[in-house]
């Protein structure tokens, strides 16, 4: 009953919030927060409870529609509800002066509801229905701002339709063969399926999940969509919605098929897993260096979202204890720090009047210290610096690649991390450090309702970095659910028997190092405060408002790598679109709307038939 209640509150709350907005904007905002908070509470109550409940029967197909709760669905459900609540809170201030707010809150709540529906679906028909609701609602909210956002939304929905058609083909095929859509029953039947049919199901279903997860070469929709969407929704897109692709891959690979079947899917040294690993490695490297040459704060984060998915893929494909744990933990970690960073970008945009070009900023640490700390912690988590959550998950993934004798994959992951360090530094420095432009001299810190989600996520990045055992216990339950070996964990990391990682030891080592550095600085010469424009470069005075270290710092590197960063996938899709447009323009000329032309077409067609009759 509780699962039905969750869906009723999620979907019903979206409609009630919309109607409340017609009465009062304040009432609408309160209801949006209460609905989101109620979902977090209800989902928390079903932790460690495995539930399966039929909620409807389709008599004409004799299909049972089922809702279920298990460790995997709970893991994703709590992420969806948690980030959804924070995005609503953030929206209260960020969206305050925007238009069509009833539409905005309704659509955002509806997307969160449909995402919850997908992860608690116990049959593929329910999964597909909720997936389609999610896709079309997302298109509407991506296009919310109009202009470039509409083009970005169209690119997304076209790719989404392709993925949905592939998923529909899989569902129809499974139903026609087995007469059921219940996930547990299909998992049982697939154990006796032929290798060819198994490959067909796995490859076709994976197309949909590779698209939504924006893996190379099906990534082209994501940078535009995430950059053009409003920032509170960009955080939901990057943190949660994109990672539904990981959920889908895990569902089909390990829940429906299982490790025994996956190990049989290979021809020589080429296997399904090795192909996914190759895709993950290319995604990591290409996205990292593409992010490096971006100047738009949200595009940097969007490309980061593309690249980090590659790490998740490398982790979950290797069905070892450390690999699977690292991959799933990185899903959670990325949800936390990328939502945080999009909130940071939104706060900067909100206070500067819409500025997203990081080269037009600088010195904002003086005016927005809370936002700076959030950005610093978020970027640290993204890079994987010790004492942040990203360090633990990346450590597990690196350990899997190195001990598993995969040097090329490990090298690709390392290069991707190096690229992340470069664009992460660029993001922090160009926005917050350097000289504060005069026009931002009186800028204020982000409003409290925008600070609150950033503070909560900042604390969580550190909390899960120092005490990773909290989320790792949930991930171990996910692995036991599908008979995969769980990783031994402690509250502070991983015990010695499983390859020791103790974050308390790391914490004390870093604190001692910082204390030694502080002592050295205490004994050094005292710094002398000067005006920020009292600066010289190569002996020449630097003009006011031009002192910014990193605006062109990466120019030499950019010139070297840009020729190799041609997005051939985007160019390929663009050529297909142009060809389709030309064909449609030719066809359109036939439909001129004049009766005389249609009469001529009929006469010509009859003449053609007579010609065929006479000579053939």
C-beta separation of 208 from 164 below 8 A: yes
Residues 474-497 have pLDDT tens digits of: 888 888 887 777 788 788 878 776
What is the per-residue pLDDT for 552?
64
Q: What is the pLDDT of residues 248-262, one digit of tens each?
A: 888 888 888 887 787
Residue range 293-300: mean pLDDT, rounded:
88
Q: What pLDDT digit, counting tens, does each position of 6-65 carry?
A: 999 999 999 999 898 888 888 988 999 999 999 999 999 988 888 888 877 777 777 888
The predicted model gives 374-378 an average pLDDT of 94
**pLDDT value, residue 376:** 94
Of 545 and 14, more confident: 14
pLDDT reading at 606 higher than 50: yes
Q: Which of 206-210, 300-304, 401-405, 557-561 bottoms out in mean pLDDT, i.e. has the lowest? A: 557-561
Nearest residue to 441 (alpha-carbon basis) of 352, 547, 355: 352
- Going by C-beta distance under 8 Å and a sequence separation of 6 or more, which residues neighbour residue 604? none
- Contact call for residues 461 and 388 (beta carbons, < 8 A): yes
User: 348 pLDDT band (50/70/90 cuts)?
Assistant: very high
**Of residues 72, 91, 65, 87, the one with CA closest to residue 7:** 65
Q: Who wins on pLDDT, 243 or 599?
A: 243
Name the token pair of 441. Answer: 């001299």
The encoded tokens of residue 345 equal: 């970008």
In whole numbers, what is the pLDDT of the chain averaged over residues?
A: 84
β-strand pairing of 63-69 with 51-58: antiparallel
Give the separation between CA 363 and CA 547, rounded to whole angstroms.
10
Q: Of 321, 472, 314, which Cα lies nearest the Cα of 398? A: 314
> Is it the case that residue 374 has pLDDT exceeding 60?
yes
Question: Which pLDDT band holds residue 363 (cuts at 50, 70, 90)?
Answer: confident
* pLDDT tens digits along 87-114: 999 999 988 888 888 889 999 999 999 9
- Residue 265 DSSP symbol: -
Distance CA 538, CA 368 (A): 31
């Amino acid at each position: 009953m509780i699962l039905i209640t969750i869906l009723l509150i999620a979907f019903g709350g979206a409609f009630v919030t919309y109607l409340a907005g017609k009465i009062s904007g304040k009432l609408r905002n309160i209801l949006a927060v209460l609905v989101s908070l109620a979902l977090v509470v209800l989902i928390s109550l079903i932790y460690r409870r495995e539930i399966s409940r039929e909620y409807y029967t389709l008599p004409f197909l004799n299909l049972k529609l089922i809702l279920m709760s298990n460790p995997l669905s709970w893991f994703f459900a709590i992420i969806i509800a948690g980030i959804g609540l924070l995005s609503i809170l953030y929206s209260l201030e960020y969206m305050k002066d925007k238009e069509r707010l009833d539409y905005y809150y309704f659509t955002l709540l509806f997307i969160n509801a449909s995402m919850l529906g997908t992860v608690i679906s116990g049959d593929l028909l329910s999964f597909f229905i909720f997936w389609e609701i999610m896709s079309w609602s997302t298109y509407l909210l991506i296009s919310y701002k109009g202009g470039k956002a509409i083009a970005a939304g169209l690119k997304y929905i076209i790719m989404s339709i392709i993925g949905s058609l592939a998923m529909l083909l899989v569902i129809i095929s499974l139903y026609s063969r087995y007469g059921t859509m219940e996930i547990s029953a299909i998992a049982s039947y697939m154990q006796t399926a032929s290798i060819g049919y198994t490959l067909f199901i796995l490859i076709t279903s994976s197309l949909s999940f590779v698209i939504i997860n924006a893996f190379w070469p099906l990534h082209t929709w994501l940078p535009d969509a995430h950059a053009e969407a409003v920032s509170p929704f960009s955080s939901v897109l990057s943190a949660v919605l994109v990672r539904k692709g990981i959920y889908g891959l895990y569902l089909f690979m390990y829940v429906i098929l299982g490790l025994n079947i996956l190990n049989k899917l290979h021809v020589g040294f080429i296997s399904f897993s090795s192909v996914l690993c190759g895709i993950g490695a290319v995604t990591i490297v290409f996205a990292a260096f593409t992010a490096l040459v971006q100047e738009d704060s949200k595009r940097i984060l969007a490309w980061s979202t593309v690249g980090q998915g590659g790490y998740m893929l490398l982790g979950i494909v290797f069905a070892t204890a450390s690999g699977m744990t690292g991959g799933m933990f990185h899903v959670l970690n990325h949800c936390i720090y990328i939502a945080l960073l999009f909130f940071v970008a939104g706060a900067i945009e909100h206070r500067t009047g819409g500025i997203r070009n990081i080269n037009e900023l600088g010195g904002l640490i003086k005016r927005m210290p809370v936002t700076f700390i959030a950005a610093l912690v978020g970027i640290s988590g993204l890079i994987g610096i010790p004492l942040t959550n990203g360090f633990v998950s990346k450590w597990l993934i690196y350990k899997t690649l190195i001990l598993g004798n995969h040097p090329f994959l490990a090298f690709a992951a390392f290069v991707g991390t190096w690229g992340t360090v470069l664009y992460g530094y660029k993001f922090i420095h160009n926005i917050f450090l350097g000289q504060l432009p005069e026009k931002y001299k009186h800028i204020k810190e982000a409003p409290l309702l925008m600070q609150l989600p950033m503070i909560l996520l900042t604390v969580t990045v550190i909390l899960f970095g120092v005490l990773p055992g909290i989320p790792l216990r949930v991930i171990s339950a996910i692995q036991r659910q599908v008979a995969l070996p769980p990783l031994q964990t402690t509250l502070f990391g991983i015990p010695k028997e499983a390859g020791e990682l103790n974050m308390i030891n790391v914490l004390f080592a870093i604190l001692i190092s910082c204390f030694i550095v502080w002592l050295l600085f205490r004994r050094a010469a005292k710094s002398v405060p000067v005006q920020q424009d009292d600066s010289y470069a190569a002996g020449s005075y630097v003009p006011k408002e031009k002192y910014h270290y990193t605006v062109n710092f990466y120019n030499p590197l950019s010139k070297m790598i840009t020729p190799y960063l041609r997005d051939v996938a985007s160019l390929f899709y663009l050529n297909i679109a142009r060809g389709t447009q030309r064909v449609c323009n030719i066809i359109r000329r036939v439909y001129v709307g004049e009766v005389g032309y249609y009469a001529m077409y009929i006469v010509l067609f009859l003449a053609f038939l007579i010609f065929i009759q006479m000579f053939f």
